[in-house]
Amino acid sequence: MNTSITSVQTTIVSSDDGARTYEVKKVLLNETGEPAAGSDAVLIGLYPTTTTAEPYKTDLSTNHLVCKMQELGLCSVRILNLFSQVCESEKLSARGLEVDEENLAYIESVLKETDFQEKFLILSWGNSMATCRAANLTKARISNLFATYHPQGKLYQLSAPSLTLDSEECVHVLYLGIRHKREPWGLCEYHFPKKELPPEKPAKRGRKKKALKAAEEPAERSKVDMFMKEGEAK
């Protein structure tokens, strides 16, 4: 009979109030308590569900990822997201959503780390917010940041033998976990498609009318002044 004791170490970086989680790091530890053999990776998902208040709770996405880490040849994964707002019971709504500047600054700080080039950067935010302006702007800015700090670097996405990557870009961990759980997972190179940035939000009609009215008022006042002067001259 053989007894083996291993563990998964979790590190969480969050805001002081716990409402935002910037990073969840998972490290596989062997029998001696040292990191298991493998590479390090940084994975960017969509939004977090883990909080410092309940650090032992994990969602399905994280569970699937941890189960496949050894198969992927990874000993540690730092999980970041497009948005840092914690969503424990409901999905993140795209309505009124803005770019998470503080979260982007954290992602940039990770990209700037001196040993980052030794890690795999895996994009796994899925396509559930494919039409969300804030999400697309964030993706474009991450692409620009990566190109700035690592111009020769490579981006990766998760893959499986029967997965068609033409229709599933930056496939989400949960999608793979549900539909390709029994297949071996791998990493393949990813290239950002050349797309134009989403247009800026159009100005509200009411504001536009007020602005036009304000611009017309000085012209109207000048005409009145001119007629008054002509009348005085007569």
**Domain identity same for 19 and 115:** yes
Per-residue confidence (pLDDT) for residue 192, from 0 to 100: 85
Strand 155-159 with 120-123, pairing: parallel
| Same domain, yes or no: 134 and 213 | no
Please tell me the pTM assigned to this model: 0.81
pLDDT at 158: 96
Q: How many Å is the maximal CA-CA distance in the chain? A: 117
Domain count, the chain: 2
Q: CB under 8 Å to 13, separation ≥6 — which residues?
A: 21, 22, 23, 24, 106
Residues 152 and 182 in one domain: yes
Give the three-state DSSP class for 10: strand
- pLDDT in the model for residue 91: 84
Q: How far apart are the first and last CA of the chain?
A: 117
Nearest residue to 25 (alpha-carbon basis) of 37, 6, 12? 12
Residues 211 and 168 in one domain: no
Looking at the fold, whether 216 and 110 belong to one and the same domain comes out as no
| Alpha carbon distance 135, 132 (integer Å) | 5
Residue 1 placed within a domain = no
Cβ partners under 8 Å of residue 163, min gap 6: 171, 176, 179, 180
77 and 122 housed in the same domain: yes
- Adjacent-strand bridge partners of 8: 28
Q: Are residues 189 and 123 in the same domain?
A: yes
Domain co-membership, 147 together with 209: no
pLDDT computed for residue 164 by the predictor: 85
Gap between the Cα atoms of 110 and 213, Å rounded: 49
Alpha-carbon gap, residue 50 to 58, rounded angstroms? 6
Do residues 164 and 208 share a domain?
no
Mark the ranges of the chain whose per-residue pLDDT is less than 50: 208, 211-212, 214-215, 219-221, 223-224, 226-234
Please indicate, yes or no, if residue 92 is contained in any of the structural domains.
yes
d(CA 147, CA 7): 36
Q: Looking at the structure, do residues 144 and 220 belong to the same domain, yes or no?
A: no
For residue 2, tell me if it sits in a domain. Answer: no
pLDDT at 227: 43
Q: What is the pLDDT of residues 50-108, one digit of tens each?
A: 999 889 989 999 999 999 999 999 999 999 999 999 997 778 888 899 999 999 999 99
Q: Show the domain range for 161.
A: 7-201
Tokens 């298991």, located at residue: 36
Does 127 lie in the same domain as 209?
no
Mark whether 143 and 107 lie in a shared domain.
yes
